Amino acid sequence: MTSELDQEVIIARSHVPAAHRPDRIRRLNVGGGLEVAVSEWGSESAQPLLMAHGGFDFSGTFDVFAPLLAEAGLRVISWDHRGHGDSDLACMYSFDADIRDAALVLNSIDSNDSIPVLGHSKGGGIMNQLADALPHRISAVINLDGIPNERGFSQKIDRTDIDALNQELSGYLDHRRKASNLTRKPDTLAGLAQRRQTMNPRLAPEWLRYLVTVGARKDSDGWRWKIDPALRFGPTGAWNPQWAIPKLRGLQLPYLGIIGTVEEEMGWGTTPDEALAILPIGAEFHALAETGHFVHIERPAEVSAIVLRFLGKFL
């Protein structure tokens, strides 16, 4: 099976020659006996840039984008969120837990200076709140299609409404109990990629097959995604844009926002007008035409050039 797996992976990865797996991968204890997988591209002595992937993704989604930044002289660090990729599964999940994990990954970087951070989708939301919580540790925020809007997600629960909050949390616990013994449906490598394409219709089949080799594993009955079946799409637990937007507006540090203008199922659906109305004063903003939610995958060269020009102003 090992030789078959190796050959299958080699063939799938050969169709995305620009992708490069991390130069270094390490494990980091984030408490409670749980470890996350931390990936790095570039020289260990270079300027660090901490990056966070989106929900239902993993740091391997940066395998084309991150090397472009590393080639320009950055040390790019990312991690698989708990329950995603090669990180451990958790008994419970929350946005706050992801932010705590982000802070611990940040603390694990051997740098005494504040550093820039970048996040895609859910990762953009994490970095917004990390910068609000630790402004002395972060020098700039780059948000890739993770800018909130007033409409928010379906999970808009008023924390002051005890009954609504109780209903939301009870629903999550019921889901968690039902999912505790579930495993993801197996498929072939190509089949898993095709299933993913229903949510990522703009991504090339070659890229999706590559992602399977990184974010899925091959068991005796076929390939299955490593993502915990207990996770649900969207923010875990109660979430309301009214909590996130004031924190974003109040950030007092260099800020770059990039969004795609083609709405997709996994995207936030924030329009340019909505984004401009809530970004921090002085923020730089780009809305990419004919581009979907995964801006760094659809247009890695252009997005990396925008990021590098932005960072070049103060690094």
Q: 277 lies in which domain range? A: 2-157+235-312
Q: Is residue 54 part of a domain?
A: yes
Amino acid 243: pLDDT: 80
Predicted confidence band of residue 6 (pLDDT cuts 50, 70, 90): confident
Is 193 part of a structural domain of the chain?
A: no
What confidence tens digit (pLDDT) does each residue in 262-279 have? 999 889 899 999 999 999
**What is the CATH number for 114?**
3.40.50.1820
278 in a domain, yes or no?
yes
Note whether residue 119 is domain-resident: yes
172 lies in some domain: no
pLDDT above 90 as % of the chain: 76
In a domain, 210, yes or no: no
Estimate to the nearest angstrom the gap between the alpha carbon of 227 and the chain centroid.
13
pLDDT bracket for residue 1 (50, 70, 90): very low
> Given this model, what pLDDT does residue 296 score?
98
- Residue pLDDT, tens place only, 190-219: 999 999 999 999 999 999 999 999 999 999
Domain count, the chain: 1
The predicted model scores a pTM of 0.91
Q: Over the stretch 51-85, which tens digit does the pLDDT of each residue have?
A: 999 999 999 999 999 999 999 999 999 999 999 99
Per the domain annotation, does 99 fall within a domain?
yes
Lowest mean pLDDT among 91-95, 150-154, 240-244: 150-154
Q: Determine the pLDDT at residue 236.
A: 56
Dist. CA 146–CA 257, nearest whole Å: 8
Flag whether pLDDT at 33 surpasses 70. Answer: yes
For residue 171, tell me if it sits in a domain. no
